Amino acid sequence: MTDERRFRIGVLGSGKGSNFVAIADACAAGTVAAEVALVVSDVAEAGILARARERSIPARFIPPGKFRTRLDEDAERAYVAALQTAEVDLVVLAGFMRVLKDGFLRAFAGSIVNIHPSLLPSFPGLAAWQQALAHGVRVTGCTVHFVDAGVDSGPIIGQQTVPVLDDDTPETLHQRIQAAEHALYPQCV
């Protein structure tokens, strides 16, 4: 038996939490040598909070403040404090639909990762699978990257390709990209 402290992950999410589930399950199985210490959402009824509670992982809603696409200053301080109190080593964004700003980035410099549903630098921003279809690419995929001050612009950690099929709809392509995300994200964490 060892008294070594386990590597601790804090997860931020706004939605269903499917990438969180992939990571938490990989941690529980020992595939990822870490533990999820805290899940925080900017959406009170987000599925990610329910998925965390099902796994007995601490889960909190913290109001995001007055802005639609980012945390306001008070919210940012509350998120940083919650993650620091949980002593997280890595902040994992799992469908967190807000851009993180300077104070947050400084608090966890080099320790924030995100997954994006395209092969960055192609198709940053929202609905990347729809962008891929509109541009007629034959291959798209997903990217895990470090978070910096830009949008989907940080250094790339890993990528997984997904073919674009002739009969793909935005929904079918998105489903296949999400399946690739669930495999790639735990590997990169």
SS (H, E, C) 106-137: HHCCCCEEEEECCCCCCCCCCCHHHHHHHHCC
Query: Which residues participate in catalysis according to the annotation?
Result: 116
* Distances from the Cα of 42 to the Cα of 64, 119, 127, 139, angstroms: 5, 26, 20, 33
Tell me how far apart the alpha carbons of residues 143 and 133 are, in angstroms, rounded to a whole number.
17
